[in-house]
Structure 1
Amino acid sequence: MSEAPAVTETSPATAGKALVELDDVSKYYGNIRALEGVSLEAHAGEVTCVLGDNGAGKSTLIKIIAGLHQHDAGTFRIEGEEVRLGKPREALDRGIATVYQDLAVVPLMPVWRNFFLGSEPTKGAGPFKRMDVAFMRETTRAELLRMGIDLRDVDQPIGTLSGGERQCVAIARAVYFGAKVLVLDEPTAALGVKQSGVVLKYVAAARDAGLAVVLITHNPHHAYLVGDRFVLLKRGTMAGSYTKDAITLDELTRQMAGGSELEELSHELERAPKPLHLGGERTDES
């Protein structure tokens, strides 16, 4: 794989355009509050980072944007139009592609087969209809290269690629199939420092290609490297919403780590001072 992504730059017509908007959105499962009053904007040519600890509501937010679940309150807009998505196919048809952490790939199948999985082009007709393997191989190689991914052998099983490389293939696939909004579910969670850096390069490449990227993560350092907007979730509610020029990495990290709660905890965990015994050893006399 090459080091530097090479993609087209964002055009003035798409830069800064809000493609996805959530306004005061809530989701309940019976008496359980999964999300309440969450707002978010994803603009073309920008990365919106959603940060939160486990149980913060990130997964529920992804499912609403991806069309898996419908919101119970608030407003969900795609390119200015209010929507209630009933299934993932509706999200895909509107240009929203979601790349989950498990990637949903078939490890023993070649890279080109996974690239077109579920959307295989065919040639011929009737009993002679078959998959256009040559087209899939060539297109996969060309599209990966366009994203800056120089993969020499697209016939190798995708399971032989590193975790970072598999993430990059999934991003390139979403771009090829016409995604306008790319939702990434913790893409660097199981990766080391070097592979995380590779993935973040291609997140930036998707942004520069004009996509609106929603990056779900619990790592403020990764978020700050590529993010333009930051939404902090805590127990299903908004703990903050910032643009990059309005918050520093230190403050983002402090808020992500719990901020004032950690300060209170540190006071509780401080060692009590040891009592001083003056005047030598104490003796007990009967």
Structure 2
Amino acid sequence: MKIIECPRDAMQGLADFVPTELKVQYLQALLQVGFDTLDFGSFVSPKAIPQMRDTAEVLAQLDLSATTTKLLAIVANVRGAEQAVSYAPIRYIGFPLSLSETFQKRNTNKSISEALVEVAQMQELCLKTGKELVLYLSMGFGNPYGEPWEPTLVGEMTQKLDELGIKIVSLSDTIGVSSPETILPLFQTLIPAFPHIEFGAHLHTSPSTWQEKVEAVYASGCRRMDGALLGYGGCPMAKDELVGNMPTEKMVAYLQEKGVPLNLNQEALSEAMALATHVFQSH
């Protein structure tokens, strides 16, 4: 199981700016844990996401000499991707593509068809620069805007991404509506249909539903999960302040109890959790 830790997702909605030095300290602690990938920052408009305006500065200060964790940066357009691929330490470029026309326009100021054109350009850019594009399919488990949603739409969009050569697709539960009844059949259908794509789960959850979601993801055969320590972050459109990111420490504890090898440094994980409390509760 690959664990993708997402401090960028956890931080980006904070009202107060987290000082660059503290971001670096926190990310440095996370790099010692042994996560597969760290979603550490984004190259997007500072007006849209002011919290991430120092991503390049943060990256310049990270010591990557003693970690196996790979770095992922989120972008919202080709211009952001051009910035991101210029940094040698960044391995993955993440782009949020939505199954909802409304959310796509709100999130990246483009229609789905316009976004797909950009995805093709980003994929070409990644291939040229030795990076890998990670596509996040937001509204992957439901739609709050009254637009059509059904599992076949997820499959149809995945087919389009497959035709572009995308190798990693992470289904995103943007509003926290996923349940075992949607998680299991989606992954059990997609994984055998697209065996050359690595599927991931980026789930938002309430404190009472995290375990059933993790159980369903693992039972479905999906072996890539996103989380954020202590469950910070999430999506304001969930309209429920209890809905946040999947708490990494709970996901890890559950998987370890099941005997799933994660190869994480438990001492480093505890230290990172203590620092997370400081970072998020003070901002």
TM-score range, shorter chain: 0.3 to 0.5
Higher relative contact order (CA 8 A, sep 6+): 1
TM-score with structure 1 setting the length:
0.38
Larger-gyration structure (1/2): 1
Which structure's residues are more often strand, by fraction?
1
